[in-house]
Amino acid sequence: MADHIIQDSETLIEKAARALYSIFGISLLPLLVAHLLWRGIKQPDYLQYWAERFFGMSVQRSPRGPQTSTAFPTNAGLSVMWIHAVSVGETRAAAPLIEQWLAKGDAHRVVLTHTTPTGRETGQNLFTRWLTMDTPRVVQRYLPYDLIWANAMFLAWAQPTLGVLMETELWPNLLAQARRRSIPVVLINARLSPRSAKRLQQFRWLSRPAIAHLTGIAAQTQADAQGFLAACSSAGLKNTAGVAPMVRMEVVGNMKFDIDVPQPMRDLGNQWRGMSGRRFIWLAASTRDDEETQIAQSWQKARGDGRLSAEHLLVVVPRHPQRFNRVVRLLESAGLTVQRRSSWNPHQACDVLVGDSLGEMFAYLQMSDLVFMGGSLPALGGQNPVEACAVGRPVFFGPNMFNFHQIARALRACGAGKEVRSTDEWIDQGCQLLNDAAAYAAARQAAQDFAQAHRGATLRTAKFLETILQAGR
């Protein structure tokens, strides 16, 4: 009786907490609209598909007027996996898992949701053949904001057999609605940085019940698994197995290691390298928050004191396409001669090449000699260094890699990556490495070995999902 009373009390508390959360979310609707309008000024794609974001449905124009689209025929015996990949990195990491699901047969379909336009565009490029079939087997949508009516309409439309969220996406209303509809939802490639763990603790009145609504968690590392276990147990959700009731936990590794470098991108990168005519090519990848200003200042300083010469080419690839024009202006204002990848004339001399193209990061990596990961000097959490390792490039990063803290630690330990405190230090250490052929070769080999040694998470994740499905049959 006592256990039953406690459970009822927890349910009432959970409902009250989510009610307050929902009211707060509704009060933010004007700000969400303003945010999309503001983002849309620089990136017009944010002005599209608002019906998906606010109402969980897609409206298509037809000769008879607007109508709600349906992805798949209902009640047709389909196995639909809904997978939420926020942006570019998550979409790429999910690609092998999606391909494995679709390979099971024509009855297997995928609803692929995103948060950012760049993630949606990446999905379009990766799954063109599945999206453009007469009867599409992959359908894309934006995941609606965590509003009760939007989640209800989205789930009623998608009718997934299985829901899959990636990394840290825990939305209280969405998970509660899925539980109400008996839709198993699994968090895969799950990670919990120190900052995320602190946030879970601060908002434990929402995050802990959300975790309890999951059917399974496939964690990247043992430390990540322990973080989720701690969140469960401190809420009184722990059972005799040490996890929340009905939540399966398994450590499977990081799916981002399983990405394959497309041969066309390797060929394109080699072509660019030949076109550049330079001996050394330095890549600043996925730069953010005007990091380019520091990079340009350090580059000019190194050129002035003779550490860098005309044989060295700087390539800067901003993380967000809406910043392409701004980055060009920043670099030019620092006195550098700049060309854009989209209009590159290799017969004209330049100091910096700005990568203003999407979907070609592997080609930029293949072109380079060494790589600096953007978003790691300001407190932004860094960007994924695994792709650089996959092509065998030594990686440099700043002290703020909290989104990839486990990977950064392992890279330092094996010699494939170096932490620097400034762009001046990046250039200093980069020059030392390039001037020592043996050390450079060792760093490249260490990067390739590191990427190869951690592969296999996608297969383990697929097996984990199959276990979830079989348990629910």
Distances, alpha carbon 253 to alpha carbons 7, 115, 164, 384, 458, in Å:
34, 24, 16, 15, 8
d(CA 296, CA 279): 19
Q: What is the DSSP letter of 143?
A: P
Give the bridge partners for 185, in sequence order: 163
Q: Which two tokens stand for residue 81?
A: 């996996």
Active-site option among 52, 90, 169, 291: 90
d(CA 213, CA 160): 16
Q: Which are the contacts of 117, defined by CB distance < 8 A and separation ≥ 6?
A: 43, 45, 46, 48
Based on its alpha-carbon atoms, the radius of gyration of the chain, rounded to whole angstroms, reads: 24
SS (H, E, C) 381-406: CCCCCHHHHHCCCCEEECCCCHHHHH
CB atoms within 10 A of CB 260: 10
d(CA 333, CA 351): 13
Where is 89: in which H helix or E strand? helix 88-102
Q: Which are the contacts of 153, defined by CB distance < 8 A and separation ≥ 6?
A: 55, 56, 57, 144
d(CA 174, CA 209): 12
Closest CA to 213 of 173, 155, 252, 241: 173
387 is catalytic: no
Catalytic residues: 90
